[in-house]
Amino acid sequence: MKYQGSCHCGQIAFEVEGEIPEVMSCNCSLCQRKGALMWFVPRPAVVLHTPADKMGTYLFNKHVIQHHFCPTCGIHPFGEAMSPSGQAMAAINVRCLDGVDVSALKVQHYNGRGS
C-alpha cells in the first residue's frame, strides 16, 4: 500500500510504500517526548517531495540516527539510519501518515532508555 505523509504544516511531504505489520514505541528521552509510533522501512521505499535542505535534523546520543523535523511546525515525520546489517532504513512516524488508524496497529514497546 502507498501512504502519503507530512508534517503538520505540509512543508515536509513524502510517500512511503509497504505494509505496516507493527509499529514501535520507544521510551528513550527523545521518542518519549515526541510520542512517535515508528514503522521501519528500507529507505528506498520513501519518496521525499521536499528538498532535504528544507528539513531540520537532530542528532543525539550516538549520533547514528538522523531525526528529521520541520523547522516551521516542529513535527518529526521520520528519521534515517543504517540497520545493523548496513541497509539504509527510515523510521516513519505513522502518526504523520494520512488514513492510518493508529489504534488498530500492533505496538511493540522498546526500552530505549536501557540501550
pTM for the model stands at 0.93
State the pLDDT at residue 115: 62
Q: Which of 4, 7, 14, 5 is nearest to 69 (CA)?
A: 7
Q: List the CATH code of the domain at 2-114.
A: 2.170.150.70
CB-based contact 12:80 (threshold 8 Å): no
Tens digit of each residue's pLDDT, the chain (115 residues): 999 999 999 999 999 999 999 999 999 888 889 899 999 999 999 999 999 999 999 998 778 889 999 999 999 999 999 999 999 999 999 999 999 999 999 999 998 887 6
> Rounded CA gap, 27 and 11, in Å?
27
State the pLDDT at residue 66: 95
